[in-house]
């Protein structure tokens, strides 16, 4: 994957560490209806002992009421934190930090087991980016350790604090795994979209090259048959031209089917024969090679497309009287003496450029001094393999 695409998908860069936390498939985090119900099961081990302790407190003073609000406010915050997923980063940060503060307050004011900190640290894992999880949850656990030391409970409760840190760490890695899966899903969707777009471009380019040439040749030959009938009344020749039109139509239909199924291959030798026939029908003098043996086999397919499109442009637009084609091992030139005075980059030439770029080649189009176009396609020669010569070691000394 290209570097720009990997950055777009959030893969392989540092910004992922600072990115938003993983979301659910609908972008809204945990289920907003089911989670509050499930959270009751998780918070009962925390609420039952504290509730018993508060109910045993007499008389009920404002301080006790505040403690009730703190405890059940903390539990409610844990139950309804999925509601915050639809809000921006500031709201999620505020909510997560508020839960950590509430948890520390409950540990301090109610003398609750430090295990209750897990609700706040777990929520923070799913609300903020990983770097802030490390900073804020780490700071909360350090503060909780200080509270236990100051209240003389560290020796008895440090094991629960280690459990909170361990479970939080496990959830942290689970969150990172979910994040990676989400990025991969997004990347796969983008790749699928690009694949569809590339296939559409390929199909459009192939159909343009195929139908443009075939229909142009059919038009030229049909016009020739009409002129033969109108001027000379040479029925046998007109019938022969119409037969060729029929053959071209069948061949074009077959090529369309092969193009749609991505099984079509272009032969430079076949395109050369087709170009000779099309130019002859258009009464254009053609100076064409008689063989393609001097062209490297791996270059004949792209050069076939170049020849087809160049000849099609000559037939359509140039008004030329003469066309010359030259071939080399890794290049092809098509030159005409038409009336073109500037290079117009249409869909055909643009598509040819894309084809050649795919194999590392280039397409150059220039205007001749006397009018007409010169189209040159060139593909770099492959690097020659380094010849390896075996060196035979002779024994030292003379003959025995």
- Asked whether residue 266 is assigned to any structural domain, the reply reads no
> Quick one: which of 263, 250, 265, 252 has its CA closest to 207?
252
> Quick one: which of 339, 354, 282, 347 has its CA closest to 311?
282
- Looking at 193, 226, 261, the residue that finishes a domain is 193
The DSSP symbol for 114 reads G
Q: Residues 62, 188: one domain?
A: yes
Q: Residues 9, 145: one domain?
A: yes
Kindly tell me the burial class for residue 39, based on how many C-beta atoms sit within 10 Å of its own C-beta (0-12, 13-18, 19 or more): buried
Q: Residues 31, 174: one domain?
A: yes
CA distance 172 to 168: 6
Q: Residues 46, 152: one domain?
A: yes
CA distance 378 to 363: 7
CA distance 307 to 224: 22
> CA angle, corner 250, sides to 243 and 237, nearest 5?
10
Q: Residues 49, 171: one domain?
A: yes
- Asked whether residue 393 is assigned to any structural domain, the reply reads no
- Asked whether residue 392 is assigned to any structural domain, the reply reads no
Q: Residues 181, 308: one domain?
A: no
Instruction: Render each residue's pLDDT in the chain as its tens digit; 400 residues.
Output: 444 433 333 333 433 444 455 554 444 556 666 777 777 777 777 777 777 777 777 677 787 788 888 888 888 888 877 777 777 788 888 888 888 888 888 888 877 778 888 888 888 888 888 888 888 888 888 988 888 888 888 888 788 888 888 888 888 888 888 878 888 888 888 888 877 777 677 667 666 666 676 777 778 778 877 887 777 777 888 888 788 877 777 777 766 766 665 555 677 888 888 888 888 878 888 899 888 888 888 888 888 888 888 888 888 777 888 999 999 888 999 999 888 778 777 777 777 788 788 888 898 888 888 788 888 999 998 776 544 444 444 444 433 3
- Looking at 193, 209, 231, the residue that finishes a domain is 193
For the beta carbon of residue 329, count every other beta carbon within 10 angstroms.
10
Q: What is the pLDDT of residue 33?
A: 67
CA distance 355 to 363: 9
Q: 28: which 2 tokens?
A: 């809204």
- Asked whether residue 163 is assigned to any structural domain, the reply reads yes
SS3 of residue 97 by DSSP: helix
CA distance 309 to 207: 12
Q: Residues 10, 119: one domain?
A: yes
Q: How many CA atoms, within 13 angstroms, populate the side-chain half-sphere of residue 33?
A: 0
For the beta carbon of residue 337, count every other beta carbon within 10 angstroms.
20
- Looking at 193, 208, 231, the residue that finishes a domain is 193
CB proximity list for 71: less than 8 A, separation 6 or greater: 47, 50, 51, 54, 106, 110
CA distance 377 to 356: 8
CA distance 134 to 296: 60
Look at the chain and report how many structural domains it folds into.
Answer: 2
Residue 173 belongs to domain spanning: 3-193
Q: Residues 27, 143: one domain?
A: yes
Q: Residues 11, 160: one domain?
A: yes
Q: Residues 188, 288: one domain?
A: no
- Asked whether residue 227 is assigned to any structural domain, the reply reads no
Q: What is the pLDDT of residue 263?
A: 53
Q: Residues 184, 293: one domain?
A: no
- Asked whether residue 175 is assigned to any structural domain, the reply reads yes
Q: What is the pLDDT of residue 21?
A: 54
Q: What is the pLDDT of residue 325?
A: 92
- Asked whether residue 158 is assigned to any structural domain, the reply reads yes
Continuous H helices in the chain: 3-8, 15-18, 34-55, 62-79, 89-109, 117-127, 130-150, 154-231, 235-260, 268-281, 297-313, 347-358
For the beta carbon of residue 386, count every other beta carbon within 10 angstroms.
6
CA distance 71 to 387: 81
- Residue 79 sits at φ, ψ, to 5 deg, of -70, -35
- Asked whether residue 234 is assigned to any structural domain, the reply reads no
CB proximity list for 184: less than 8 A, separation 6 or greater: none
SS3 of residue 287 by DSSP: strand
CATH code at position 295: 3.30.565.10
């Amino acid at each position: 994957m290209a570097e720009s695409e990997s950055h777009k998908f959030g893969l392989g860069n540092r910004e992922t560490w600072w990115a938003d936390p993983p979301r659910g498939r609908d972008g809204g985090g945990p289920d907003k209806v089911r989670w509050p119900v499930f959270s009751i099961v998780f918070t009962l081990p925390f609420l039952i002992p504290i509730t018993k302790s508060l109910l045993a407190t007499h008389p009920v003073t404002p301080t006790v009421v505040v403690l009730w609000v703190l405890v059940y406010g903390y539990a409610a915050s844990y139950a309804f934190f999925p509601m915050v997923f639809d809000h921006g980063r500031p709201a999620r940060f505020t909510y997560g930090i508020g839960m950590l503060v509430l948890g520390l307050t409950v540990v301090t004011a109610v003398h609750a087991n430090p295990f209750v900190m897990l609700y706040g640290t777990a929520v923070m894992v799913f609300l903020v980016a990983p770097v802030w999880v490390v900073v804020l949850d780490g700071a909360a656990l350090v503060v909780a350790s200080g509270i236990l030391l100051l209240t003389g409970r560290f020796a008895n409760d440090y094991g629960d604090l280690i459990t909170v840190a361990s479970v939080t760490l496990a959830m942290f890695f689970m969150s990172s795994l979910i994040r990676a899966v989400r990025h991969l899903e997004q990347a796969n969707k983008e790749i699928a979209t690009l694949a569809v777009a590339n296939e559409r471009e390929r199909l459009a380019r192939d159909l343009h090259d195929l139908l443009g040439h075939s229909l142009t040749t059919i038009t030229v030959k049909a016009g020739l048959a009409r002129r033969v009938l109108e001027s000379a009344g040479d029925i046998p020749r007109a019938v022969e031209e119409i037969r060729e039109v029929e053959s071209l139509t069948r061949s074009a239909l077959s090529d369309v089917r092969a193009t749609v199924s991505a099984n079509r291959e272009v032969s430079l030798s076949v395109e050369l024969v087709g170009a000779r026939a099309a130019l002859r029908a258009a009464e254009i003098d053609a100076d064409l090679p008689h063989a393609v043996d001097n062209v490297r086999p791996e270059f004949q397919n792209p050069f076939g497309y170049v020849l087809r499109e160049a000849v099609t442009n000559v037939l359509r637009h140039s008004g030329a009287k003469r066309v010359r084609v030259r071939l080399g091992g890794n290049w092809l030139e098509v030159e005409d003496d038409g009336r073109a005075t500037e290079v117009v980059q249409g869909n055909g030439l643009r598509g040819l450029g894309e084809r050649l770029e795919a194999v590392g080649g280039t397409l150059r189009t220039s205007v001749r001094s006397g009018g007409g176009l010169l189209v040159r396609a060139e593909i770099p020669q492959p690097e020659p393999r380094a010849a390896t010569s075996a060196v035979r070691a002779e024994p030292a000394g003379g003959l025995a």
